[in-house]
């Protein structure tokens, strides 16, 4: 049972970004990494942007799935989605969204892709702002969570397990604490 070719290509694209950064994400490279010709790649994705779009969608869907799972396990008190969001973000697991930052930057210049990102952003924003927690507080929590892996990606912040857990727990606490 062969793996779906499309998935193989997406996987290859991920690898390229991980290993060579956004600059390494060229059709030629991806094709080569998937042991296929560029023509073959373009047969599955009409253009580079189409490839990136598929990549983005996959990452978003993954995160959505992961967060939803945590949501189920979370108590019904206010801040339920926020906590799910925080937990999903701080999971150390596979972390398939490994790249977002670099991807983002490349997304910026394509209106269609930007719309996609913005839409996902708003989708979450709406959920998190109507979660029973004062909006500024909710925003801050989301932002801190987002920044957390942004920084991890750039490799700017050392990733110490204890520190990470402390931050995560502080964020979780902030979803419940009385508001200053």
Interface map 61-100 toward a copy of itself (x if CB under 8 A): ----------------------------------------
Q: Which is nearer to DNA, 51 or 138 (CB)?
A: 51
Helix axes 100-107, 135-154, angle to 10 degrees: 100
Q: Per rule CB under 8 A, is residue 23 in the interface with a copy of itself?
A: yes
Contact criterion met (CB below 8 Å) for 44 and 13: no
Contact criterion met (CB below 8 Å) for 162 and 90: no
C-alpha 111, offset from chain centre = 19
Which residues have a Cβ under 8 Å from the Cβ of 31 and sit 6 or more positions away? 9, 12, 37, 38, 40, 41
Residue with tokens 């969608």: 57
Question: Interface residues for a copy of itself in 97-156 (CB under 8 A)?
Answer: 101-102, 104-106, 108-109, 114, 117-118, 121, 125, 134-137, 139-144, 146-148, 150-151, 154-156
Question: Interface residues for DNA in 17-46 (CB under 7 A)?
Answer: 23, 25-29, 31, 35-40, 42-44, 46
Q: Which is nearer to a copy of itself, 37 or 69 (CB)?
A: 37
- Give the chain's largest Cα–Cα span: 59
What does the binding site for a copy of itself look like in residue numbers (CB under 8 A)? 20-23, 101-102, 104-106, 108-109, 114, 117-118, 121, 125, 134-137, 139-144, 146-148, 150-151, 154-157, 163, 166-167, 169-171, 173-174, 176-177, 180
């Amino acid at each position: 049972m062969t793996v779906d070719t499309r998935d193989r290509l997406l996987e290859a694209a991920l690898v390229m970004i991980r290993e060579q950064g956004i600059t390494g994400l060229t059709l030629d490279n991806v094709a080569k990494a998937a042991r296929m010709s560029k023509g073959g790649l373009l047969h599955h994705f009409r253009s580079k942007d189409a490839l990136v779009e598929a990549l983005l969608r996959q990452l978003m869907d993954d995160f959505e799935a992961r967060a939803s799972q945590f949501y189920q396990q979370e108590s019904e008190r206010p801040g339920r989605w926020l906590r799910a969001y925080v937990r999903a973000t701080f999971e150390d697991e596979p972390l398939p969204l490994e790249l977002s930052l670099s991807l983002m930057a490349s997304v910026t210049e394509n209106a269609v892709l930007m719309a996609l990102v913005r839409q996902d952003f708003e989708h979450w924003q709406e959920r998190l702002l109507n979660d029973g927690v004062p909006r500024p507080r909710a925003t801050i929590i989301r932002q801190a969570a987002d920044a957390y892996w942004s920084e991890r990606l750039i490799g700017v912040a050392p990733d110490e397990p204890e520190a990470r857990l402390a931050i995560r727990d502080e964020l979780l606490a902030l979803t419940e604490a009385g508001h200053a």
